[in-house]
């Protein structure tokens, strides 16, 4: 066989394989569509009215107005993510009740319980698919619709989509639009960047779908923690709320100035943020406390704890355990899901000679010792903490979102200068 003939035959076989793969993928997408229709009908049946109807009414608001797209989003979230009283999802119950499903069907449906909700930039169209960059986790998703390429008519590269994606089982790297999809033009880049940045910072778990961002997050947090310790003198502070805000604002200002000094080319001509408004402000529940514990842990990151000074006094002087408000404070630390084991571990380590006496009084267990029973106590009271893998407390945004955010800031600065020039004229 000649070289030319070999190349022709290889190209033909490649085309055949690609055609077979595309046909297989189309079949999977068609099956996804069938199952999703049955799943939606199942979720909208009378058996789920008591849970779905209140969600739709809440979405409609006082005016009782709910557009179709929002209704679809609420229903889709209810199907895939809402936890019913027994902890199961609608998908779980659908799969459990359908004995006719194949193993492939079951695996596909159960894979939908972890959808990708994000803000995407359209990279390009490719046949029936669009290639999307998730601005939150900085990963690309080759995405299809169960209605074919018609779903993406009117969207173009450089535009944006707000969508929820589910995996197409056994088709590696293929994703499917689930529920409603909203599209935005390229001119909305500033608004989109702000929304994606807010999502990334308020829900870091979405960022950490990307393993690289986990590594970068730990590195960034280690650097930030070292800078915090150098600036504040310790990784643990006990301060009055107003003093805590001042100290944190001074620290963030210091970090901004250090970053600007490292990149003078980027900082030139800009006003550093935080001059007129505080970069950090405590939530009201913490601001009303007598003292705030500020702990920057190497694993749990930077956290704030109400009335931490009171607990330090308690562990320093176990006779205070007989007073009700000291007991209530420690019980709250053990009870609240918003409080990780970290502050209790810190107090136990700081006061090894008195920790047993404190917990014996609180728990009314004369034989309690922290060394023998402390970790078991924390695991029993805070199982949620041990059920999840530690994640860095710093979100690292992707290069593209950084570009969009920087571009938006430059546009704002340009507009501000224009307004200033117009005013001075």
Please give the angle made by the CA atoms of 333, 334 and 338, to the nearest 5 degrees: 60
Q: Residues with Cβ < 8 Å from 71, sequence gap 6 or more?
A: 56, 59
Which secondary structure element, helix H or strand E, spans residue 380, and what is its range?
helix 370-381
pLDDT for res 263: 67
Please state the φ and ψ torsions of residue 291, each to the nearest 5 degrees: -140, 160
What confidence score (pLDDT) does residue 230 get? 96
Read off the pLDDT of each residue in 340-361 and give the average, rounded to a whole number: 96
pLDDT digits over 136-184, tens only?
A: 999 999 999 988 888 898 889 999 999 999 999 877 789 999 988 999 9
State the pLDDT confidence band at 377, using cuts at 50, 70 and 90. Answer: very high
Number of residues that make up the chain: 425
All structural domains of the chain with their residue ranges: 3-111, 116-195, 212-386
Q: Place 264 in a pLDDT band, splitting at 50, 70 and 90.
A: low
By the 8 A CB rule, do 109 and 35 touch?
yes
State pLDDT tens for residues 8-59.
434 443 333 344 467 788 889 999 999 999 999 999 999 999 999 999 999 9
pLDDT of 66: 86
pLDDT of residue 244: 94
Taking only the tens place, the pLDDT of each residue in 392-411 is 988 888 999 999 988 755 55
Question: Which H or E run includes 297?
Answer: strand 292-297
pLDDT greater at residue 6 or residue 38: 38
Region 249-264 average pLDDT: 84
Residue 317 has what pLDDT?
A: 96
> What number is the average pLDDT over the span 376-392?
94
**DSSP string for residues in 185-234:** -GGGHHHHHHHHHHHHHH-HHHHTTSHHHHHHHHHHHHHHHHHHHHHHSS
> Rounded mean pLDDT of 246-250?
93
- Weakest-pLDDT range from 201-210, 274-283, 413-422: 413-422
pLDDT for the residue 419: 39
End-to-end, the C-alpha distance of the chain in Å comes to 81
Band (61; pLDDT cuts 50, 70, 90): confident
Please tell me which residue, 216 or 18, carries the higher pLDDT value. 216
Token reading at 373:
């029973």
What pLDDT score was predicted for residue 423?
Answer: 37
Q: Is the pLDDT of residue 211 over 80?
A: yes
Lowest mean pLDDT across 84-98, 99-113, 253-267, 405-419: 405-419
Which of 3.30.70.940, 2.40.50.140, 3.40.718.10, 2.60.120.10 is the CATH number of 116-195?
Answer: 2.40.50.140
Give the C-alpha separation, 149 to 146, whole Å: 9
Q: pLDDT category, 418, cuts 50, 70, 90?
A: very low
Model confidence at 256: pLDDT above 90: no
């Amino acid at each position: 066989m000649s070289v030319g003939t070999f190349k022709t035959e290889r190209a033909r076989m490649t085309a055949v394989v690609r055609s077979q793969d595309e046909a297989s993928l189309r079949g999977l997408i068609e099956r996804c569509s069938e199952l999703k229709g049955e799943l939606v009908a199942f979720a909208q049946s009378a058996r789920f009215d008591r849970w779905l109807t209140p969600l739709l009414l809440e979405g409609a608001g006082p005016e009782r107005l709910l557009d179709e797209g929002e209704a679809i989003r609420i229903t889709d979230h209810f199907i895939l993510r809402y936890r019913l009283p027994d902890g199961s999802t609608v998908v779980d119950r659908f799969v459990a009740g359908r004995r006719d499903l194949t193993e492939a069907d079951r695996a596909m449906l159960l894979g939908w319980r972890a959808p990708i909700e994000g803000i995407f930039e359209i990279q390009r169209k490719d046949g029936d698919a669009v290639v999307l960059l998730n601005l939150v986790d900085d990963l690309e998703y080759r995405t299809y619709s169960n209605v074919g390429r018609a779903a993406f008519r009117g969207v173009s590269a450089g535009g944006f989509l707000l969508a929820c994606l589910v995996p197409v089982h056994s088709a590696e790297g293929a994703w499917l639009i689930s529920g409603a999809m909203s599209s935005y033009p390229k001119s909305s880049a500033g608004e989109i960047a702000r929304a994606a940045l807010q999502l990334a910072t308020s829900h870091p778990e979405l960022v950490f779908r990307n393993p690289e961002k986990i590594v970068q997050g730990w590195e960034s947090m280690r650097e930030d923690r070292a800078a915090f310790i150098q600036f504040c003198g310790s990784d643990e502070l006990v301060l009055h709320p107003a003093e805590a805000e001042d100290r944190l604002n001074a620290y963030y200002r210091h970090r901004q100035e250090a970053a600007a000094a490292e990149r003078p080319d980027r900082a030139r001509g800009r006003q550093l943020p935080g001059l007129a408004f505080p970069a950090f402000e405590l939530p009201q529940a913490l601001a009303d406390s007598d003292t705030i514990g500020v702990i920057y842990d190497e694993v749990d990151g930077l956290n704030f704890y109400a009335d931490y000074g009171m607990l330090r006094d308690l562990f320093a002087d176990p006779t205070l355990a007989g007073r009700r408000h000291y007991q209530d404070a420690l019980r709250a630390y053990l009870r609240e899901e918003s409080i990780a084991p970290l502050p209790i571990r810190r107090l136990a380590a700081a006061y090894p000679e008195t920790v047993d006496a404190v917990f014996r009084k609180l728990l009314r267990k004369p034989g309690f010792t922290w060394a023998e029973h402390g970790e078991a106590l924390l695991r029993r009271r805070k199982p949620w903490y041990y059920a999840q893998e530690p994640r860095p407390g710093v979100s690292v945004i992707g290069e593209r979102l950084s570009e969009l955010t920087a571009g938006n800031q430059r546009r704002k600065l340009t507009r501000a200068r224009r307004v200033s020039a117009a005013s001075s004229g």
